[in-house]
Amino acid sequence: MEAKPPIEAHLIGRNGWLIRLRWLAVGCSALAIALGGLLFPDSVAVGPLLAVVAAIALYDLQFSLYLRALRLAPPGEARLRQATHFAYAQVALDLIALAALLHFSGGIENPLVICFVLHVITASVLLQRRVSYLVAALASVLIASLAGLEYWGVLRHFHLPLFGVELYRHQLYLATSTAALTGTLFLVAYLATSMTTQLREQDRELQASIEISRVRGRELEEVNEQLRRTDSERTRFMVLVTHELRAPVSSIYSCLELALSGVASPEKAREVLERAQNRAKELLSFISDLLSLTRIREQAVVRDVLPVIQLADVLRDVEDVMKVEAERADILFGVEIAPDLAPVRARADQMRLVWMNLVSNAIKYTHPGGIVRVVLGQDGENVVASVHDTGIGIAADDIPRVFDEFYRASNARLVSPHGTGVGLSIVRRILENLGGKIWVESESGLGTRFCFTIPRASG
pLDDT tens digit sequence for 159-205: 876 666 677 888 888 899 899 999 999 999 999 888 888 887 887 88
What is the DSSP secondary structure assignment for residue 459, as one 8-state letter? -
In-domain check, residue 430: yes
Asked if the model's pLDDT at residue 224 lies above 90, the reply is no
* Alpha-carbon gap, residue 415 to 17, rounded angstroms: 80
pLDDT tens digit sequence for 235-288: 766 666 665 666 667 777 777 777 777 776 777 777 778 777 877 776 676 676
Determine the 3-state secondary structure of 345 from DSSP. Answer: strand
> Structural domain of residue 355, as residue ranges?
303-455
pLDDT above 90: percentage of residues in the chain: 30
Can you give 107-149 as a three-state secondary structure string?
HHHCHHHHHHHHHHHHHHHHCCHHHHHHHHHHHHHHHHHHHHH
CATH assignment of the domain containing 322: 3.30.565.10
CA-nearest of 352, 323, 320, 362 to 427 is 352
Q: 371 has which bridge partners?
A: 332
pLDDT tens digit sequence for 200-220: 788 788 888 888 888 888 888
Residues 345 and 434: beta-carbon distance below 8 Å: yes
In-domain check, residue 216: no
The lowest-confidence range among 11-15, 265-269, 334-338 is 265-269
In-domain check, residue 65: yes
pLDDT above 70: percentage of residues in the chain: 85
Among 141, 169, 197, the domain boundary falls at 169
pLDDT tens digit sequence for 83-125: 888 988 999 999 999 999 999 988 888 888 888 998 888 888 8
- Per-residue pLDDT band at 386 (split at 50, 70, 90): very high
* Alpha-carbon gap, residue 108 to 173, rounded angstroms: 9
What b/e string do you get for 224-249 counting C-beta neighbours within 10 Å, with b at 16 or more? eeeeeeeeeeeeebeebbeebeeebe
Number of domains within the chain: 2
Q: What is the pLDDT of residue 282?
A: 65
Mean pLDDT, the chain, rounded, equals: 83
In-domain check, residue 242: no
Residues 164 and 307 in one domain: no
Asked if the model's pLDDT at residue 2 lies above 50, the reply is no
Among 114, 137, 169, the domain boundary falls at 169
* Alpha-carbon gap, residue 179 to 447, rounded angstroms: 100
> What burial class does residue 95 get, using C-beta atoms within 10 Å of its C-beta: 0-12 exposed, 13-18 middle, 19+ buried?
buried
- Higher pLDDT: 5 or 198? It is 198
* Alpha-carbon gap, residue 347 to 299, rounded angstroms: 12
- Per-residue pLDDT band at 301 (split at 50, 70, 90): low
Q: What mean pLDDT comes out for the span 376-405?
A: 87
In-domain check, residue 200: no
In-domain check, residue 73: yes
Residues 110 and 160: beta-carbon distance below 8 Å: yes
Q: What mean pLDDT comes out for the span 310-314?
A: 91
In sequence order, the 6+-apart residues with CB closer than 8 A to the CB of 312 are: 337, 341, 376
In-domain check, residue 388: yes
Among 169, 194, 227, the domain boundary falls at 169
Record the pTM: 0.50
In-domain check, residue 279: no
Q: What is the pLDDT of residue 427?
A: 86
